[in-house]
C-alpha cells in the first residue's frame, strides 16, 4: 500500500522544482491529494496543471487519473471514520448538487468495474458455485448487506446455501466447522477490511475449500487465499464507500447462476408464488 509514497521519496532528487513542490504536498497530505483534480493540486502548490500531469507520468502512470486512483487505494483502509467525515466535509463544502456528485461517482465506479473485471475469474466463480457441495457466504460490517443480498437469492436457487450471519469470531468458526474441499466459501470484504473476515477466509482455505473473494482491489487481504477474485470499485465520495458497483457485480453473479439453473428456478418460483399468495406476502391490487 505504501509503494507509491516510497516511490515518490526515492525519485525525489530527479524531480524538477515544481514537481518537488507536488511531491512535498502529496507526501504530507496524500489523503487530500487523492481527491484533488490535477488543476486543484497544481493551484495548491503554486504550479501548473500540466506540471502535475508530467509528475504523474514521471512516476510511470498512464495519466493523472491512474496516479490519483493509486493514492486513493493507499487511504482506503487507513482512514478512520472520523477522518473520512472530515475529508468528506471538505470535499462537499459548497456543493449544492449532492445527488449528482454521488451518482456520478457511482457511475465511474461501475465503469471501472466493467473495464477491469476478469471474465475468466467470473466464469470460474460461477462454475465453482454450481459444483459445490455446500455454499458458504460471509460478509461482515458494511459488507454484510451485500452478503445478505447474495444469500437471499442463492437460497431461492440452491438448497445448500449457508449464510454465515454473525460478527462473533467464535460463532463464525462454529458455523465453518464442517467446511471442506468440496465446498465454496464466498467472502465479501471492502474497506475498511474486517479482520474477522480475513481470519475466516484463512480458515476456509486451510480446510481446502474453494475461495471466491469479492473485494475492491488485488491488494485486499483476502485475495491471497482466493481461487477466484472478483473486483468491484468502491472509491468513496464521502465517508461512506460506494456500493453501487459491488451490488451490480453481485447481481451479475446471481443472474449468471440463474441462467445456469433456469429449469430448477422456474419450478421453485412456481411453488413459492403459491406460498406467497396463500400467506399474503405481497400486496395485490
Cα separations (Å) of 228 from 6, 182, 183, 250?
Answer: 30, 15, 14, 14
Predicted confidence at residue 270, as pLDDT, reads: 83
Query: Same structural domain for residues 71 and 146?
Result: no
Q: Tell me the H-state helices in the chain.
A: 3-11, 17-33, 38-45, 49-58, 64-76, 81-92, 98-116, 119-131, 144-157, 169-175, 195-206, 244-260, 262-278
Query: Same structural domain for residues 193 and 72?
Result: no
**Cα–Cα–Cα angle for 121, 124, 130, nearest 5°?**
145
Q: Is the pTM of this model over 0.75?
A: no
Low-confidence ranges of the chain (pLDDT < 50): 1
Predicted confidence at residue 265, as pLDDT, reads: 79
The total of structural domains in the chain comes to 2
Which residue, of 49, 76, 103, is where some domain finishes?
A: 76
Q: Which residue has the cell 504530507?
A: 28
Which residue, of 13, 45, 76, is where some domain finishes?
A: 76
State how far the Cα of 93 lies from the Cα of 72, in Å rounded to an integer: 20
Strand order in the sheet with 135-139: 161-163, 135-139, 184-189, 210-215, 228-231
Burial of 158 (0-12, 13-18, 19+ CB in 10 A): middle
Predicted confidence at residue 240, as pLDDT, reads: 64
Predicted confidence at residue 1, as pLDDT, reads: 45
Predicted confidence at residue 62, as pLDDT, reads: 87
Predicted confidence at residue 80, as pLDDT, reads: 56
In a domain, 229, yes or no: yes
Query: Same structural domain for residues 214 and 147?
Result: yes
**Of 221, 185, 234, which is closest to residue 205 (Cα–Cα)?**
185
Predicted confidence at residue 181, as pLDDT, reads: 94
pLDDT tens-place string over residues 254-281: 999 999 888 777 877 788 888 888 888 8
State how far the Cα of 226 lies from the Cα of 118, in Å rounded to an integer: 14
Domain containing 227: what range?
115-278
Q: Following CA atoms 159, 161, 162, 165 in sequence, which dihedral angle do they give, to the nearest 10 degrees?
A: -110
Report the CATH number at residue 241: 3.40.50.10490
In a domain, 89, yes or no: no
Report the CATH number at residue 43: 1.10.10.10
In a domain, 26, yes or no: yes
Which residue, of 46, 76, 106, is where some domain finishes?
A: 76
Query: Same structural domain for residues 136 and 265?
Result: yes
Query: Same structural domain for residues 139 and 262?
Result: yes
Query: Same structural domain for residues 144 and 247?
Result: yes
Predicted confidence at residue 202, as pLDDT, reads: 96
Amino acid at each position: 500500500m505504501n509503494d507509491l509514497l516510497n516511490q515518490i521519496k526515492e525519485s525525489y532528487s530527479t524531480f524538477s522544482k515544481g514537481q518537488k513542490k507536488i511531491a512535498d504536498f502529496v507526501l504530507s497530505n496524500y489523503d487530500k491529494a487523492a481527491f484533488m483534480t490535477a488543476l486543484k493540486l497544481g493551484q495548491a502548490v503554486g504550479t501548473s496543471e500540466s506540471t502535475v500531469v508530467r509528475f504523474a507520468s514521471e512516476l510511470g502512470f498512464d495519466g493523472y487519473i491512474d496516479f490519483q486512483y493509486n493514492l486513493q487505494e493507499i487511504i482506503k483502509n487507513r482512514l478512520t471514520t472520523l477522518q473520512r467525515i472530515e475529508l468528506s466535509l471538505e470535499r462537499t463544502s459548497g456543493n449544492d448538487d449532492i445527488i449528482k456528485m454521488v451518482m456520478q461517482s457511482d457511475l465511474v465506479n461501475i465503469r471501472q468495474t466493467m473495464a477491469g473485471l476478469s471474465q475468466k475469474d467470473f466464469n470460474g466463480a460461477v462454475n465453482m458455485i454450481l459444483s459445490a457441495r455446500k455454499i458458504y457466504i460471509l460478509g461482515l460490517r458494511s459488507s454484510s448487506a451485500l452478503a445478505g443480498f447474495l444469500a437471499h437469492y442463492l437460497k431461492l436457487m440452491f438448497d445448500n446455501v449457508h449464510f454465515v450471519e454473525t460478527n462473533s469470531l467464535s460463532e463464525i468458526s462454529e458455523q465453518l466447522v464442517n467446511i471442506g474441499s468440496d465446498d465454496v466459501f464466498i467472502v465479501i470484504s471492502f474497506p475498511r477490511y474486517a479482520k474477522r473476515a480475513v481470519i475466516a477466509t484463512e480458515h476456509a482455505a486451510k480446510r481446502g475449500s474453494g475461495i471466491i473473494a469479492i473485494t475492491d482491489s488485488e491488494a485486499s487481504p483476502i485475495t491471497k487465499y482466493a481461487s477466484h477474485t472478483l473486483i468491484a470499485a468502491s472509491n468513496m465520495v464521502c465517508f461512506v464507500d460506494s456500493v453501487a458497483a459491488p451490488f451490480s457485480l453481485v447481481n451479475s453473479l446471481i443472474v449468471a447462476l440463474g441462467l445456469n439453473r433456469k429449469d430448477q428456478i422456474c419450478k421453485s418460483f412456481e411453488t413459492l408464488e403459491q406460498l406467497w399468495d396463500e400467506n399474503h406476502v405481497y400486496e395485490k391490487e
